Amino acid sequence: MPWTDACATGDIDAEDLIRFDHGGATYAIYHGADGKFYATAGLCTHENVHLCDGLVLDFMIECPKHNGQFDYRTGEAKRAPVCVNLKTFPVKVEGNRVLIEVP
């Protein structure tokens, strides 16, 4: 899969996320508690709610609709009502740009 330029590193506050739409799909890009950047699918696996309005707590993203939580580093579903893991995507930083490897 190609690397896609998603945003600037300064576009995402520390411990926050933004929405990134590309190729008919939506993604969430995180600026993690460890200073690194991560990317997952943008919709909650429970009811297709955009995660970009949710809350980053350490390494968790909490869905704004039902408070389900995922570990955004691995995509693992950590708190009900989410049961299905979130897809994750490789991320790299070049200069001040964040690139993600997505279809």
Partner 1 sequence: MGKRDYSLFGADAKQAVESGLTAAEWYHSDLPRKTMKDLMARGDSPAIRDTLLLYGLMIAFAATGTALWPTWWSVPFWLAYGVLYGSASDSRWHECSHGTAFRTPWMNNAVYEIASFMIMRNSATWCWSHARHHSETYIVGRDPEIAVMRPPEMTKLMLNFFGIIDVIRFFPTLIQNALAGPTAAERTFVPQSEWAKVRRVAQVHLAIYAATLVLAVWAGSILPLMVIGLPRIYGAWHHVMTGLLQHGGLADNVIDHRLNSRTVLMNPVSRFIYWNMNYHVEHHMFPMVPYHALPRLHEAIKADLPAPNRSIAEAFREMWPALRRQLTYEDYFVKRDLPATAKPYREDFHQYVPGMTAPKAAE
Rounded least distance, CB 16 to partner 1, Å: 7
Residues 100, 45: Cα–Cα separation, whole Å: 20
The reply on whether position 64 binds partner 1 by CB under 8 A is yes
Which residue from 27, 30, 38, 54 is in contact with partner 1, where contact means CB under 8 A?
54
Residues 78, 99: Cα–Cα separation, whole Å: 26
Rule CB under 8 A: which of 19-48 touch partner 1?
46-47
Residues 68, 1: Cα–Cα separation, whole Å: 29
* Complex with partner 1: residue 8 or 80, whichever CB lies closer: 80
